[in-house]
Structure 1
Amino acid sequence: MLEKKFSSLKFNKCLLLFLIFFTTSILSFTETVKANNKYNLTVELEEETIYLEDSVCLNATFHGAQNVPQPDFADTDGLRVKYIGPSTQVIMVNRQISQQITHSFLLIPNKAGTFEIGPFKVNYDGQLYTSPPVRLKVISSKTNRQVYYPQNTASSPSGLQQQTQNSSAIGPSALPITPYNPALGGISSNPLGQNRPTSVAVNEAYESNKIFLVLEPSKTEAYVNESFPIILTLYVKDTGLKDIEYPVMEQAGFSAGEWQEPMKRQTTRNGVSYNVLIFRKDVSAIKEGKYSLGPVKMGCKIVERVSQPSRRRPAFFRSSMFDDDDFFSSMFQRYEVYPIELRADKKEITVLPFPENGKPHDFDGALGDFKMKVQIDSKEIRVGDPVTVKIEITGTGNMDTITAPKINIGENFKTYDIQSTKEKTRKVFEQILVPKTKDIKNIPEISFSFFNPDTRKYITLKEPPIPIKIIDRPHEEKIVQVVSNQGINQLKVEAPETEEKFGQDIIHIKLDLPKNEKHITLYNNKLFWLTQLLPLIGFLLFYFLYSNSERVKKDKKYARGKKAFSKSKKGLKKAAQVLSKNEIPRFYDEIFNTIEEYLGNKFNLPAGVITMDILSSKLIEIDMNETLGEMIKEVLAMCDMARYAPSLVKKEEADDIFEKVKKIIEQLEKVKS
């Protein structure tokens, strides 16, 4: 037994000595850190000279402490600044311990020039620490493109993935990247909720042709109504894109359809391999003159990979052995998404009129290269029977400009409206002809004229007369003409000479039935329709009650607001009873409990934390006047006075307070909580 007590005492003594030693070490460490930490702020750029399309990291290091906020410095015109984040470090050299915190910023230039950034200021422990400005030189690039940077960014490792077939190189020059304008498209100006400082657009060169648009019309000269294709190509190299929108093109003087589904390709341009997205659509000129196709605008988001500043990496990985290692460098990289708008320059198109020389008399504006085929459904018909002439026009060109070919019918045929159907390279007309006499020998010649823009010549296609045989209708046949409500004879029925006798085998149809005055239809009964509303009313009532019950269970604020008025009525009733008994101190207790509980329920405030500062902010939120706040303040003050100096309160003042509390509750009930 004594051995156990001795062993326990020995253990406790060892534990006490360990705690004393540990505490002493901690205090010694802290004092050593404080002794070696001289507070000062230093700022440096990782590079002092960069190109326009590059970015650079600025590091602001505060020596001597770690819980220091980021320094303040003024905005610099022509630079966008993005805060990356802090990093901390504890250094021990020859048993001397120091600590520091580094705040890193990413600087992105909008224009070339020399920029002075700073001075830098930071408040710590009641003292102001400063650092002088730093200078950054931005060198412009050598190409003739414009670059503008958007106002907002976000992080997302997304890009444009294209793996398709190869195609030939495609022409004109690269187009500028312009700043995103929310009014022109549906791209969010703040994709993932991160903000960048506002940028200023400038005309500066862009070194590489990584993203650009090329607009290529197939013709620079066209005739009125001539349909020709245009191609818009998006070139992308070593850059990710996402949320690519359909192009928007200015096309005054032209009619055009919608852009076709884009095709993905890989192509080579000027010896450089690109991923391309090809948009195509057909346009046609409306009238003669000189017009422009474009400019073309396209919204999208560009995904850039941004390396984290090297200062944030541990010193072990910043050695020369690991600086160029792809694995370790990729660990400190992130992606940023910029909304941009690409632009393709306009192209001039000359729209020519149709030449007057050699224009056929039956030319109606058909434009293209066509062939004509004519068929009839029967070559032997009776007088009065219809014959259908089918005319098929096929070829390439603007099918909307094709009108029905001309048939010199004369007075020997009765005609009806021509019916037509159109496909992409085919248009079919159907003409119904009804011969009036048996003397007709053929269907007259059919001609169709069009203008070929490739050869710049008029062409007339002719179908020679088609022989037909007309058979006279037998004399005993009688033609009964049935006329439609439009007044056009569209159907002919043969009827026999003998009249049909009715009434022997078929009962005559009765047009009128005797009316039963006593019979009242159900749908004319108003009571019937009123009873149909009862289930709907019952359902709506049930739904309202159920929804209100569920909201009371789930929404604490709503539930407290619902019961605030009813509880205040009970409290006021009880206060009135106490006041009638002239129990003034107790009356003020009831009034205080009532107003405190009501305001807590009304504004969803916990009990015991209701102060005039909190109530003032709540009253401002619901746009209540200052008079109400003064009334609440007066009521609470009188309640405090009655609690601590009951001899100073009077019966008349209690009546006035009671009325003010009622008025406060009435005014607040008019506002939705």
Structure 2
Amino acid sequence: MRRIGNLTAILIFLLFAALCGADISFTASVDRTTISEGEQVQLTLTLEGSGISGAPQPELPPMPDWDILGSTSSSSTSISIVGTKMESRVTRNYIYALAPRKTGTLTIPSVKINVGGKLYSTQPIDIEVVKGAPSRQPSGVPGGGRQGGQGKAGEPKLSSEQVAGDKVFISAWASKKKAYLGEKITVEFWLYTRLNVAQLSISKEPKMTGFWVSPEFTAKTLDYQTKVINGIRYSAALLTRYSIYALTAGKKTIEPMELVGVVQLPPRDFFDFWGRTEQVTIRSRPVEIEILPLPEANKPADFTGAVGDFMISASLDKTEIKTNEAFTLRIEVKGSGNFNAIQEPKIELPKSFDKYESHAQEKGNAKVFEIVLMPREKGEFVIPPVSFSFFNPATEKYRTVSTNPIKINVLQGKELPAPPPGIYTGTKEEVQVVGKDIAYIKPNKTRLSGPSSFVWIDIYYFAVIPLEILALGLAFAVKRRRERLITDIAFARSSRAYSKAKSLLVQAKRESEPAKFYSAIYASLFGFIVDKLNLPSCSLLEDIICNLRERNFNEEFLSNLSSFFSRLEFARFAPRADEKVERNKVLKEASEILKILAKGLK
């Protein structure tokens, strides 16, 4: 008996612990927020969680503005199995019919319930009671449902002048309504519905003229979650999320997204048992954003347009470095902001170091530059700090960050292969002072050759001299080119533009996701033009077309180019059924456009 008593106590303790630690929510919603005098409003209190089996029924507080006409309740249980663990979740709905006692703005007060010793409460709900027919309520924007009196952090909030009343609508939300040029803005499009919807498709993409647009998320299937806006319960699903960066200052507009689909309408009366379906077009509202120019005061000389909050670091891929052996200097710019505007920082290198092609790529919240270097002399060297300047919109100030200096001890490595015959490569050690200006040669007549050998020496001499001159000229030209690539940014961008564009086309061919494929094509052509013309990477397409027109490109080509860029933008968000055929066609067309651009921008 004592053992049974102990087991009972343990079970009661575990049940109590499960009840106290359960994930419980308590929310209130109404079927509408505007009614006419004499109509009713339906209040639904929803208690949901895995430990509410012993929870009491909520008690309504005093409501002097309302008459309670009746009430009912319902309960449902869902069971899910995750691995070897089975979880059950209970949902209880307490439904009340309320009638207003007067007109005006009436409040349904907060309702409280005690579950397992913890108090949960709903949010108050305002109801507009008007004389005559109720007015139609405008569409809302995303808002967070309330649980235990607190909303989820980070969710979009409903503005005070907007009330959710439509049964199906799209909401456009922007993380900032005022931002600086080049500052990151997150834009989301949400579907809110109180009806069953099907066969949804995007009929019109949201245009974001004047922004660099980077798609972050596109829903393949709609993942609904419950949200309560001004007391009305909706099923909400995120459709798309973008990161956008303004290219010019001024007032900008994010134009509406448009969907078409089929909704199932509720029954009109008792005989309309199944209800009916109707095809609808759903549009979001435009979003206005004010873009502020970057301040001119205190702008660093090396500022190239980066906006955000960053840090910079430098490292080497080797701990032991030898002469005539390549190693990689890795510069990492890490943080949050517009990585597209970050260019390779200027690096001061020791004179005996040769710099080769660099490679840049984005990795998560960082942009990494990998620069291949090769030392020609042994000794101890220092790569000075590498600086990087950006504008921080949070502090509204420019900031310059730098890497630590890197000390390098270069050891003697393998010697380079011997030069071809006839090319002299003397060293400094071979030149010695003999103490006299002229040292006369005393020939030994017995060792002089006959005239026949002189002919062959003469031929060999005149054959080798031009090769020596050519080799010296090539070496001088290569050195000048390397120096110019380091000091002349415009020349470096122009020289590397074609290989960079071709590389992006090859990368696009390997991409399996349509959005990444079309983004790579866009970046290839757009990047080639701005690099050849030495324009900022955040230039507008209209400005680029004007620059190409000044370079005598014909109007037909410019019109086709502008149309091609528009097709790429649209295709990123609306892939076609014959996607494989279309991608091959786009890739071929992009290659032809690149050839024409390369020929005209020599």
Q: Which TM class, normalised by the smaller chain length?
A: 0.3 to 0.5
TM-score, normalised with respect to structure 1:
0.38
